[in-house]
């Protein structure tokens, strides 16, 4: 079941159920109370009407008895009997016709207030009722019910009269139903009716406007009310009361109101409650639909935002409207998204820092590995150079000495003298190469580290070679830091490094007009720097990785056999420093020697 349906059902139960349940329960209670009151009122009316009708019948009996005691019909002639019956119909309460039947069953006289003739069907029906009555003398009044062809059920009050001959006569008075109807009209409630019923439940007289009882209504009355005692009925069709007459005839008064009339106010109120419940139900369902739609829309937004957040979109935000739970959840979601965004930014920052740190460490490892390789190469070349120098130094000295002796023996102009001079020059060059190899192989010795003034080391080195370098066409500009940087190192080895770098700069500037060399010292956070910058031809990018390899050279003239920079690299590494090179072809090169400070050096 969807949330909207659950909400609608809950609101329906919360709003309509109490209204309908409590309302209908109260209405049912009101209906029972109203039925009880109506039944009690009907019973009072029925008892009053029964007492009145009983009194009327008793009066009729007394008047008829008194009249008959004064007038003996068996002693009168027919004309006298006719006048007797006329007086009887006028003086007996409720009588509108009278008749006398002798012992043989013959009608001696009959009088009708409507002056109907003796052969009238209504009069004949009245006389037939007298004949059928077994009224005995001195037995009291007998009420005979008969069917009048024109007026329906009628009642005849009959008394037996003892004659002198011993045979009994019958004198009867037809009772006017209008008197009883007036009594019933007084007993009938508004919208209901009253009936005089005989012992079998047949209606004798009904109040004005009261129709005959339906079969279902008669059955309901017969099932609920006993003929011999008073009682009230709250039935499905009638609210009624029954009161028997007090003359032992089994007759009684039924006063009834249709249930729809008795409960009209309750029924109307129930309909109003039903209408109100329907209206409340419609309002509740409409409110539930609107609320469910709003809630469903809010939950849909939250679901979509959660999916977007789960897919990595940390910029998603929810609108916060109102102060309900959806707004609270939306605000919490936005806070969570912001926290996740900050956490992602922090993680990305950490990742970037880690990446940079890894790259820096990787570069340091690569540089350390490169320096280690270079150191291994230099150590190998040093060992090789020392061995080669020792092997060829003595033969080379012999060749050079013999060449010089032969030159002394040759006169100027001798054709062999030029060849011997060439041999001498080549031998000298070989001797210089051997000396450099020996010096390079000796660089592996541990330097004598002392606290030094780096400015003084650079100045002394340039004093030895600055003039010769400047004479080569490349002026040297010297910039010394103030105060002077102090390092721990071997002054001789560091001076040789400066000289090697300056000689390389001079060689790079050969043939370039206006090229200058700049030598600078500088203080650094972790030590000191020596910068040797030239305006020479520059170094191709593909040659930069090989600069510190032994016997590698970029010089056009192969003079120093490529051992100067490897020797400088070995010295700087032994001092715990490094050499960095930056160069652009055609624009010159910059060599930066980084050395640890005096406090950081180790001996």
pLDDT at 381: 60
Residues 504, 536 contacting (CB under 8 angstroms): no
Q: Is the pLDDT of residue 197 over 70?
A: yes
Identify the residue with better confidence: 369 or 242.
242
pLDDT at 436: 59
DSSP character at residue 270 = H
Closest by CA position to 378, among listed 559, 577, 561, 567: 567
User: Is the pTM value of this prediction over 0.75?
Assistant: no
What confidence category does residue 246 fall into, taking pLDDT thresholds of 50, 70 and 90?
confident
Query: Mean pLDDT of all residues in the chain?
Result: 79
Angle between helices 415-441 and 564-574 (to 10 degrees): 20
Identify the residue with better confidence: 526 or 519.
519
What confidence category does residue 520 fall into, taking pLDDT thresholds of 50, 70 and 90?
very high
Closest by CA position to 197, among listed 178, 175, 221, 176: 221
Identify the residue with better confidence: 71 or 585.
585
Identify the residue with better confidence: 588 or 278.
588
Residues 318, 305 contacting (CB under 8 angstroms): yes
What confidence category does residue 413 fall into, taking pLDDT thresholds of 50, 70 and 90?
confident
Residues 244, 50 contacting (CB under 8 angstroms): yes
Q: How close are the terminal C-alpha atoms of the chain, in Å?
A: 85
Most confident of 20-34, 77-91, 384-398: 77-91
Q: Which two tokens stand for residue 74?
A: 């068996």
CA–CA separation, 80 and 88 (whole Å): 12
Closest by CA position to 100, among listed 175, 173, 174, 171: 171
Percent of the chain's residues with pLDDT above 90: 6
Residues 489, 449 contacting (CB under 8 angstroms): yes
Q: Which domains does the chain have, with CATH numbers?
A: 1-288 (3.30.450.20), 447-596 (3.30.565.10)
pLDDT at 490: 86
Peptide bond connecting 483 to the previous residue in cis, omega within 30 degrees of 0:
yes
pLDDT at 7: 60
- Exposure string of 107-130, with b = 16+ CB inside 10 Å and e = fewer, is bbbbbbeeebeeebebbebbbebb
Identify the residue with better confidence: 425 or 447.
425
Instruction: Count CB-CB contacts under 10 A for residue 430.
Output: 16
Minimum mean pLDDT range among 36-40, 206-210, 371-375 = 371-375
pLDDT at 601: 41
Q: Is the pLDDT of residue 121 over 50?
A: yes
Average pLDDT on 382-398 reads 69
What confidence category does residue 462 fall into, taking pLDDT thresholds of 50, 70 and 90?
confident
Average pLDDT on 156-172 reads 77
pLDDT at 563: 63
Q: Is the pLDDT of residue 371 over 80?
A: no
Average pLDDT on 526-535 reads 90
What confidence category does residue 590 fall into, taking pLDDT thresholds of 50, 70 and 90?
very high
Average pLDDT on 95-116 reads 76
Average pLDDT on 313-330 reads 80
Give the burial class of 553: count Cβ atoms within 10 A of its Cβ; 0-12 exposed, 13-18 middle, 19 or more buried.
Answer: buried
Which pLDDT tens digit goes with each residue over 252-305?
Answer: 999 998 888 887 877 787 788 778 777 877 887 787 778 777 777 777 888 888
Q: Is the pLDDT of residue 407 over 90?
A: no
pLDDT at 532: 92
Angle between helices 564-574 and 325-409 (to 10 degrees): 130
Average pLDDT on 143-171 reads 81
Q: Is the pLDDT of residue 382 over 70?
A: no
CA–CA separation, 31 and 263 (whole Å): 7
């Amino acid at each position: 079941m969807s949330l909207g349906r659950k909400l609608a059902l809950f609101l329906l139960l919360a709003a309509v159920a109490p209204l309908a349940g409590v309302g209908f329960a109260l209405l049912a209670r009101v209906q029972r109370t109203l039925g009880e009151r109506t039944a009690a009122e009907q019973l009072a009316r029925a008892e009053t009407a029964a007492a009145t009708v009983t009194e009327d019948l008793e009066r009729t009996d007394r008047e008829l008895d008194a009249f008959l005691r004064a007038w003996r019909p068996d002693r009168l002639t027919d004309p006298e009997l006719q006048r007797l019956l006329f007086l009887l119909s006028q003086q007996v309460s409720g009588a509108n016709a009278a008749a006398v039947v002798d012992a043989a069953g013959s009608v001696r006289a009959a009088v009708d207030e409507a002056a109907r003739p003796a052969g009238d069907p209504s009069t004949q029906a009245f006389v037939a009722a007298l004949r059928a009555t077994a009224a005995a003398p001195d037995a009291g009044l007998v009420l005979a019910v008969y069917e009048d062809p024109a007026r329906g059920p009628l009642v005849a009050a009959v008394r037996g009269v003892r004659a002198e001959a011993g045979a009994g006569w019958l004198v009867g008075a037809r009772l006017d139903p209008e008197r009883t109807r007036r009594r019933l009209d007084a007993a009938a409630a508004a919208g209901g009716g009253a009936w005089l019923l005989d012992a079998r439940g047949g209606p004798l007289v009904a109040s004005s406007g009261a129709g005959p009882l339906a079969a279902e209504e008669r059955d309901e009355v017969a099932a609920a009310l006993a003929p011999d005692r008073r009682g009230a009925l709250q039935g499905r069709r009638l609210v009624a009361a029954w009161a028997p007459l007090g003359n032992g005839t089994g007759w009684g008064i039924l006063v009834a109101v249709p249930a729809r009339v008795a409960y009209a106010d309750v029924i109307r109120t129930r309909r109003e409650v039903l209408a109100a419940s329907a209206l409340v139900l419609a309002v509740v369902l409409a409110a539930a639909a609107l609320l469910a739609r709003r809630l469903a829309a809010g939950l849909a937004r939250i679901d979509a935002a959660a999916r977007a957040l789960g897919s990595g979109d940390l910029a998603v935000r929810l609108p916060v409207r109102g102060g309900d739970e959806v707004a609270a959840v939306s605000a919490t979601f936005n806070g969570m998204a912001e926290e996740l965004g900050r956490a992602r930014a922090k993680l990305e920052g950490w990742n970037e820092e880690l990446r940079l740190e890894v790259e820096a460490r990787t570069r340091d490892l690569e540089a350390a590995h490169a320096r280690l390789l270079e150191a291994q190469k230099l150590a190998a070349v040093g060992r090789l150079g020392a061995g080669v120098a020792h092997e060829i130094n003595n033969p080379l000295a012999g060749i050079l000495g013999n060449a010089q002796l032969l030159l002394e023996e040759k006169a100027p102009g001798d054709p062999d003298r030029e060849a011997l001079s060439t041999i001498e020059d080549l031998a000298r060059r070989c001797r210089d190469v051997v000396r450099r190899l020996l010096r390079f192989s000796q660089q592996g010795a541990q330097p004598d580290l002392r606290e030094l003034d780096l400015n003084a080391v650079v100045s002394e080195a340039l004093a030895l070679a600055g003039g010769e370098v400047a004479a080569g066409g490349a002026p040297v500009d010297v910039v010394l830091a103030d105060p002077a940087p102090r390092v721990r190192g071997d002054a001789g080895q560091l001076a040789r490094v400066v000289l090697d770098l300056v000689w390389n700069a001079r060689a790079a500037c050969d043939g370039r007009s206006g090229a200058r060399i700049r030598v600078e010292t500088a203080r650094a956070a972790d030590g000191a720097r020596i910068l040797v910058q030239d305006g020479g031809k520059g170094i191709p990018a593909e040659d930069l990785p090989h600069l510190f390899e032994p016997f590698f050279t970029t010089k056009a003239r192969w003079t120093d056999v490529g051992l100067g920079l490897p020797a400088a690299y070995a010295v700087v590494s032994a001092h715990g420093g490094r050499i960095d090179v930056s160069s652009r072809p055609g624009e010159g090169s910059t060599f930066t020697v980084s050395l640890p400070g005096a406090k950081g050096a180790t001996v």
